[in-house]
Amino acid sequence: MNPRVLTLTAAVLALIGGAAGSLRWLKTRVHMGEPGVRIVRVPIVSDQGRLAATNSVMLPSDIPGFRSRTEPVPELELTFLPPDTTFGRRSYNSGDGLPPISASVVLMGSDRTSIHRPEYCMTGVGWQILSQTTRRIPVTTGKAFDLDAQRFDMTREFELPSGQKVRKNAVYVFWFVADGVRTPSHSDRQWRGIREVLVRGVNPRWAYVSFFAVCDPGTEDATFDRLARVIGVAAPEIERPSAEIPVAAAAAVDRTR
């Protein structure tokens, strides 16, 4: 046989063997981390009235100045995401004529595909992202801390039943949290996940926490302030205490473990 063919064959077999060994290592040495959010025995129902799960992620029902109610999860989303995904859904209405605030949590199980890049999710349902910024939200209930979150300002054209078209904007605020770490960045979340698997043998169980409100063009800052007030109260109830570690301190915490 041609020596070059032999060399290539040996290289391919070595790669296959290395991949198989890596998979065995991942299966035996890597374990799922604890979630950074609270799980409660509150059922999740689909938008078709089907009981989807008996547990959900905690979203507080009592926010000063707001009425709230649990919201269904679209059947399409339940079908599309892995079956071990855990959800939390609630809306908050201030009763002053302003649009409600929608809160959502998606908590991954063993399948990492539960969480997607937020840009894909929002543009996929028709929103155009105008700007992306990282904002610091003060949390004053319980143990005070600053929460860094990503803010998207977005726009979308809607068609009314009359056929008239109207443009609405929206503000979308989100972050990711796992046991002992929080980040507003999807890419940072991915990097931290890889590092935890390789260094500690832990697959972080990430949750994607988001708050969303539609608004009129020009009122984005006021809408963000409304969202920040709700987040400032809700975050300590959504997250487990171990999650209250600033991203900047996460590396130092790692070194002490």
Q: With a cut of 70, say whether residue 246 has pLDDT above it.
A: no
Rounded Cα distance, 205 and 110, in Å:
8
What is the rounded end-to-end Cα distance, in angstroms, of the chain? 53
DSSP per-residue codes, 145-176? EEEEEEEEEEEEEEE-TTS-EEEEEEEEEEEE
Q: With a cut of 60, say whether residue 2 has pLDDT above it.
A: no
Q: What range defines the domain where residue 103 resides? A: 32-256
Q: With a cut of 80, say whether residue 188 has pLDDT above it.
A: yes
pLDDT of residue 160: 80
Residue 58 lies in a domain: yes
34-68 pLDDT per residue, tens:
999 999 999 999 999 999 999 999 999 999 999 99
Rounded Cα distance, 256 and 251, in Å:
9
CA-wise closest residue to 240 among 33, 31, 67, 32: 33
pLDDT of residue 224: 98
Strand partners, 207: 107, 177
Identify whether the C-beta of residue 147 lies closer than 8 Å to the C-beta of residue 175: yes
Q: With a cut of 90, say whether residue 107 has pLDDT above it.
A: yes
In this structure, what are the phi and psi dihedrals at residue 3, rounded to the nearest 5 degrees?
-55, -35
196-206 pLDDT per residue, tens:
888 888 888 99
156-169 pLDDT per residue, tens:
998 888 888 889 99
Rounded Cα distance, 227 and 104, in Å:
13
Residue 26 lies in a domain: no
Total count of domains within the chain: 1
Residues contacting residue 222 through CB under 8 Å, at least 6 positions apart? 215
Q: With a cut of 70, say whether residue 109 has pLDDT above it.
A: yes
Question: What is the DSSP code (8-state) at residue 243?
Answer: G
Residue 117 lies in a domain: yes
Percent of the chain with pLDDT over 70: 83
Residue 20 lies in a domain: no
> pLDDT class for 141, splitting at 50, 70, 90?
confident
Residue 6 lies in a domain: no
Helix, strand, coil percentages in the chain from 3-state DSSP, rounded to 5: 35, 35, 30
The pTM (predicted TM-score) of the whole model is: 0.82
Q: With a cut of 90, say whether residue 140 has pLDDT above it.
A: no
What is the three-class DSSP state of 246? coil
Residue 24 lies in a domain: no
Range with top average pLDDT, 29-43, 80-94, 197-211: 80-94
Residue 144 lies in a domain: yes
Rounded Cα distance, 38 and 238, in Å:
6
Residue 7 lies in a domain: no
Extract the tokens encoding 142.
């319980």
